[in-house]
Structures are given as C-alpha cells and as structure tokens.
Chain A
C-alpha cells in the first residue's frame, strides 16, 4: 500500500465557482481517512480525482511519492468501491471478482487461487456461482469489496459504500471494513455523509463543505475542538447547542449574555481560568460570539440548588425517554437548548430547572469568521 498526498487541488466543472477549492491533505500508508461532508461539498469529486475518473483542474496528487495527475485509473493501480457497487450484471460473482485479474495476464490457476482466497476472507465463497441480481445489499457490498481487494491495489478508495446497505447490516458491514483495513494494513480513503460512520471508522476525518476543507483531525479532536461553526454543527448526535451571545470581561468575571432581554447569562469567575485563556478572549470583550456546548455536557439540575459558575435558570419544555438515556429540551430566553440526561429525571414538563455549562466544555466561536477562538 502507499501514501497519498493531495496538494492544493482544484476542480472546476465550467461554473464560476470551483467544485473543489484548493484541497490539501495527506493519507499515510496504512491509514483510514474519511472525507466527510454534506452532499455537494466536493468530497466525491475529490475522491474521483484521486481515482483518476475526473481530471484535475490544478494542483498535484501523489500516490506513493509519484505524481499521478495525468495517469489513467488503471495506471494508478487504485481500487474503488462504488456507492452503487457497480457489479457487472452479465457476470457471476466469481467472474466479477476475477474480472480485474484478467487484464494482468495471470494463469487460470493463479486467478482461481486469488479469487477463492479473497472470497473466503469475506465469507462469500458460497455465493460465487450466483449472479449479482440475486444478491442482498450486504452481499453485493462484500462482492464489490472483494473485487477491489483482489488486485492488491496501492490505495483503496470507497465512495459511500454503505449508503445502500440495509440499516440492520450496516453496523456489521462497517465493522467488516474496519477489520479488513486493519488486517491488510490498507491505505483507505473513504467518503461518506454520515458523521456517525465517519467517526466510527476513521483514523482521521477530513470535513468538507462548499468545496473547502473545514477541518482535518482525529474523531476526538473534531468532537471536542471543532474548528468552526460548520464542523461544530455537523459532528455529534444530537447536534451541538450553538447560541449567539455577547462576551464581556469585567472585574474578574466572564459573562456570556444571551441575545434576548440581556438578563440571561452564563457567568464564570476568572480566578480559576488560566492566563492563556484570558489573553485569547481579551480581544472579544464586548463583541458578539457564538458559544457551543454539546448536549452531553450540558447538565440539568434542580432550580433550588445554589448557583455555581456557568449555571442558569431555565424551563423544561420536553423530556424524551430513550432507554439508556434521555433528551431534555429546555428553554432559556426564547432559545431552545438540548441536553442529554439520565433516562428519567425528577422534573415535570414546564418546571423551572437549572442548567450548568462548565467552562471547560464550552467552545467559543467568532461570530464573523465562524472560526473557533483558540484558548
């Protein structure tokens, strides 16, 4: 397998705006990188440029240190698993898997050996004589993986391979892909719009929107320190609470005031905060910011408890029981916030409660640039 380097790659389809605007990233040998973003963000285009199915408007793509810009897909020796599987309907499963081997001028015995080996590893031996039309989604998926794997390619590219698999087998298929990648130590670039899938699979995730890479990082980094409002809103289930606020630094306190009547605020005493944080936030005093807090981090408590740093009065609007936990919707100053709770809570709908947002769990974003303020 090989390392893939993408440097300042642009793609223009003839419209005024580029579909991909200067993408740069590296996928190390044996790494599983996920390109994540909503539809139309340029992730599939980026993948297809790496495959060689799309030309590159400008920039360079290197596979294994070699520039491949002008090479055809077959010269790049990459394998691609397609969203629609793209199995060849007139051929049996066996011939589908053997298809890429025929161009390699291997002997019949070698082809047979390779096909059977890969079929066994994906446990599809018993469906080898079948035709693709007779297979279930999960089986088709495995056949398409087998066909890609059998060539021992330098890079493995996957374009939403699970989006057409039934929900009940998707979890298993995802685990199989991860297992296959780990055991064969393959370099994989995987495209998806499903953030749960991305976070579950990836060594590193590349989040794209509007043709621009928004953030590159491990799933943990993306979750805890999203680079901007887009990433913050895209990653995580339920989505992060994002609240426009006014930031004020005064007399050893930080106040984050809600936009409504100016009464509701999260306030924190400065004493406990490191100097670095204070310095970073200094310039934003008196300015509008957006604060983000994950529903999992926002705590809910009885209104009678004494106020602590970052606590605020709120009204419980709805609480849903979801088995292993619950979700509460609370209203503060006409803003609805979501809060993951224990399965049941000792409050009734309409009760006054207290919510607590610990400062270390807050992300503060510049409202104008939408970038996260680093502190």
Chain B
C-alpha cells in the first residue's frame, strides 16, 4: 500500500515537471507581457516585478502607445479570423464529403486517393512557396483572402479527410443501411443519423484545422500583403529597425493565442482522440 502511494507520488511529481516544462514558454510570454520595457530586457530576468498593463493598452490603441499603432494589430487579428474561419469552412465542405466517400464507398484507387490527400503535408511549405508566389502574382490571387484561404486547404484538407474518415468508419454501417431500408435517402440518413453521431468528431477536427491554420506563418508572409496578413506575420512588425518592442510583442502573442486556448478547452475531450487517431487505427 505504502509502496503504491510512493509510486503515485513519483508519477505525479514527474507529470508536474513535464507540465511546467511544456507550459514554460507560455508562462514566460505571459510574464513578459506584463513587464515594462526595462524589466523585459533586464539581466538576469526578473521573476518578481511590478506588473503593468501598458503593453496591452498600446496594443489596442489606448494610452500613450508605442511605435506600432493599435489599429494595425487589430486588423491583423481580424485577417487571421477571416482566413482561419474561411479555410475551415471550405475544408468542411470539401473534405467532409471526401472523408465520407473514402470511409464508406468502394471504388478504385481509394487508398491512393486518401494517400494523395495526405501527401499535401509531405513537402515543407518553404520549398513550394516561391513557385506559388509567382503563380499567385499572375493569377491575381496575391494579397487576397480567397488566395490565402485556398492555400490554407493544403493544411486543412488532409487533416479533415483523415480524421473524419476514422470517425465515419467507427459509425456502424448497419445504421445507415437500416435507414436506407427504412426509406431514407443518402442525404436523409447522413444528416439525420451520421452527422449527429459524428458531431464530436467534426468539432474536434474543425478545432484542430483552425489551430493549424491560425498558427501558419509562411503562407501569410509570402502570399499575403499588408491588407491580408494574419497575426502571426503581424507579430513581426514589433521588430523595428531601431528597437524590438518585446513587451508589446508578448502582449500581442498572448492575445493571439486566446482564441485557440478557448477552442481547445471547449472540445478538449474529443481532441485527445483526434490527435491520437493515427495510433488507434
């Protein structure tokens, strides 16, 4: 008994260390965002300091402000929302039917097709970004929301297809066949039975797609202009030629991860399954 308790204690201790290790960057950034510009660069770093809201005020254009006008940050944030939401909505309409077809139908080259979707993720984005840049210039997709939403499909579609496929495959096919014999069409059984059953999976997949799109940097940097670049690119603007505004950058980062944190907390339960889908299969 005592032995067991000792073991548990060790496990909890280990988990605590791991948790601190993993969350340290976030804790650090949060701390930075409340420091004034002298504390932020002080050496050795200060653990205890007098917190200030100046960085946040500057971010939203309140108070005295820094070099970067607050409205610029908000427009980056808005761009990120438009791009990420647009990308996952498009991925939902394109990827979910594909995932359903791959999960349920028998057709030639099915696995090759599924593999092709996955292969979108094989090539590092940096290697394809230059030809894409030229292409986008010619097609007038450069610096447009549509252009970026389209290229975000490279990130969202493979995830959508492969995750949703595994969720669909877990729903017994007999349920759909029963609905068909009961007189329901494909659409009828899909929307009345399959979708409610797959809903948690859909939610988890959408959140994961959202996070990957939200966090993307290189696409926005290269294929978007000042009007369409997401917040990840926007953070760069805190690095001026004369100074780096560490505090404001930290505050901007904290604000930028808030949507992700909220979404993950909302669907945490299903996320774990989504993330491990590869291992389960």
Contact = CB atoms under 8 A, between A and B. Distances in A.
Given A86-B177, A88-B175, A147 B182 contact: yes
A104 B182 CA distance: 10
B180 A72 contact: yes
B197 A73 contact: no
Looking at chain A's contact residues, the main secondary structure is loop
Interface string B141-179: 000000000000000000000000000000010110111
A52 B196 contact: no
Residue of A52, A85, A88 with most chain B CB atoms under a 10 A cut-off: A88
Per DSSP, chain B at the interface is helix
Interface string B263-278: 0000000000000000
A80 B197 contact: no
Nearest to B171: A89
A53 interface: yes
Interface residues of A, number: 24
B193 interface: yes
B174 A74 contact: no
A85 B178 CA distance: 9
Interface of B: 172, 174-175, 177-185, 188, 193, 196-197
13 contacts: A52-B180, A73-B181, A74-B181, A78-B181, A80-B181, A82-B178, A83-B174, A88-B175, A88-B179, A90-B197, A103-B183, A103-B184, A104-B183
A86 B183 contact: no
A90 B183 contact: no
Given A53-B177, A72-B180, A86-B177, 12 more contacts: A51-B177, A73-B180, A73-B181, A74-B181, A82-B178, A84-B172, A88-B175, A90-B197, A99-B179, A100-B183, A104-B183, A151-B182
A99 B189 CA distance: 11
A52 B183 CA distance: 12
Interface string A266-303: 00000000000000000000000000000000000000
B181 A79 contact: yes
A15 B240 CA distance: 68
Interface centre among B172, B181, B183, B188 (most CB of A within 10 A): B181
Contacts of A83: 174
Nearest to A73: B181
Contacts of A79: 181-182
A300 to B, nearest CB: 48
Nearest to B172: A84
A73 B182 CA distance: 8
